[in-house]
Amino acid sequence: MVRAAWSTIVRSPAGEEITVVKLSRGIVANRWNAQRVINAVRASGPLSRMALDVVVMDGEPADEPRVMGSCAGAEDFVRRMGHELADYPWHLMKLDW
């Protein structure tokens, strides 16, 4: 099923790109669903970006969303960013998951 999501890119302290995907609260109920979103993001891009970290947010940054990522470090970094993420440019994307 194709679903709309919002995405942005943040840089980790090491300078690596992390793709952050924001979905409406309640859509990603668990890590299994988050992994499906991560797989869809990776499948939608070029092979050169497949290994980059992806973090899924279940809700808006201002509402303390559930955060689930492809690795614990990226997940923790995005969680610490909190409200700062609201100021990032978000882009609509369609994902099949």
pLDDT of residue 88: 97
Q: pLDDT tens for residues 31-78?
A: 999 999 999 999 998 888 888 999 999 999 989 999 999 999 999 999
Tokens coding 6: 């919002």
Overall domain count for the chain: 1
Three-state SS at 88: coil
Residue 78: exposed, middle, or buried by beta-carbon count in 10 A (0-12, 13-18, 19+)? buried
Structural domain harbouring 22: 2-96
Confidence (pLDDT) at 29: 85
Per-residue confidence (pLDDT) for residue 50, from 0 to 100? 84
Q: How confident is the model at residue 15 (pLDDT cuts 50, 70, 90)?
A: very high
* This prediction's pTM: 0.93
